[in-house]
Amino acid sequence: MCNKIIVFDVNETLLDTGALNPIFKRVFGDERILRQWFSELIIYSQSLTLSGSYMPFGELAVAVLQMVAEIRGTILSEQDLNEFRQRLATLPAHPDALPALEMLRAAGFRLVTLTNSSTQAGQKVLEQSGLAHFFEKQFSVEEVKRFKPATENYTSVAQRLGVNADLLRLVAAHTWDILGATACGWKGALVARPGNAVLRVGKQPDIVEKDLIAVAHRIIIIDRPE
C-alpha cells in the first residue's frame, strides 16, 4: 500500500449540498440563496473560532439559516427547520465521488476524511451516502473544537495518524480549506466545483480540476510511487 494519505473534506467535496435546493426554493423563492447561506455559515464558523468559541456545525447551520431568513424578511416554521435538518443529515454523494474513491483505493492510497461536521453527524451522513467504507478513519473538528481552516485541525490529523505532513494531501472544494492544509505542510488538490475557484494569492494547490475523477487521475500520476 502507498504510504501517502489522501484526506477528504466532506460537505460539497464528497456530498452534494445541492440537495438542499428544494427547501431554499420553497422558503425563499430562490434556490440561489443556498450559496449565501453556505458562505455565511463558513464566515461565522471561522468567526467563532477566531473569537475562541465553538458549537456543533449542525446547530450553527440552523442558526445561520434563521439569520438569513430574518435578513430577508422570511418566517421559518418548525416544519421548515425540521426539513432542513433532515436534508442536511442525508446529503447524497456527488456522482463522481464513488468512482474517484475506487480509483484511489485501487491505486493503494490510504483514505481518511476531515470535516467541520460533528463526529456523529459526519459518520452518519457518510454511512447513508454509501461512502463510509472507503475511509480508514473519519476526523472531525470537534476533536479540537476549532473550525477549519484553523491549523490545529491539520496538525491534529497528522499526529493522530502518526505521519509527517509531507505524506498528507487534502482534497477539498474550498480554497479556504486548502489554505489551512498547505500552511501546515500538506499538499492540496482543489475540486473546482460550480461556485468554487482558485484564489490567486498564497501557496497554490498543485492540482486543480473540475471534478473528483480528474483529481484522482492527477493524484495517481503525481503521488503514487513508481
Is 133 found in the same domain as 34?
no
Pairwise CA distance, residues 197 & 180, whole Å: 16
What's the length of the chain?
A: 226
* Cβ atoms 95, 128 nearer than 8 A: no
Is 97 found in the same domain as 206?
yes
The pLDDT value recorded for residue 1 is: 57
Pairwise CA distance, residues 99 & 121, whole Å: 24
Is 157 found in the same domain as 143?
yes
Please tell me the pTM assigned to this model: 0.95
Pairwise CA distance, residues 81 & 99, whole Å: 33
Alpha helices in the chain (DSSP H): 21-28, 33-50, 57-71, 78-89, 97-106, 119-129, 151-161, 175-183, 212-223
What torsion, rounded to 10 degrees, do the Cα atoms 49, 80, 25, 190 define? 30
Is 110 found in the same domain as 78?
no
**Which residue, chain included where needed, has cell 498543485?**
206
CA atoms within 13 A of residue 201's CA, in its CB half-sphere? 1
Output the tens digit of pLDDT for each of the chain's 226 residues. 567 999 999 999 999 999 999 999 999 999 999 999 999 999 999 999 999 999 999 999 999 999 999 999 999 999 999 999 999 999 999 999 999 999 999 999 999 999 999 999 999 999 999 999 999 999 999 999 999 999 999 999 999 999 999 999 999 999 999 999 999 999 999 999 998 999 998 888 999 999 999 999 999 999 986 5
How many domains are there within the chain? 2
Question: Final residue of a domain: which of 39, 73, 89?
Answer: 89
pLDDT tens per residue, range 42-96: 999 999 999 999 999 999 999 999 999 999 999 999 999 999 999 999 999 999 9
Question: Final residue of a domain: which of 49, 64, 89?
Answer: 89
DSSP of 114-166, one letter per residue? EESS-HHHHHHHHHHHT-GGG-SEEEEGGGTT--TT-HHHHHHHHHHHT--GG
φ, ψ of residue 25 to 5 degrees: the values are -65, -45
The set of cell numbers assigned to 125 is 451522513
Strands 5-8 and 207-209: unpaired
Is 106 found in the same domain as 64?
no
Amino acid at 68: V
What is the span of the domain harbouring residue 54?
Answer: 17-89
Give the number of other CB atoms < 10 A from CB of residue 204.
16
Pairwise CA distance, residues 147 & 140, whole Å: 9
The set of cell numbers assigned to 23 is 427547501
Is 100 found in the same domain as 46?
no
Question: Final residue of a domain: which of 63, 89, 115?
Answer: 89
The pLDDT value recorded for residue 3 is: 77
Is 101 found in the same domain as 202?
yes
Pairwise CA distance, residues 116 & 148, whole Å: 7
Residue 115: exposure state from Cβ atoms within 10 A (0-12, 13-18, ≥19): buried
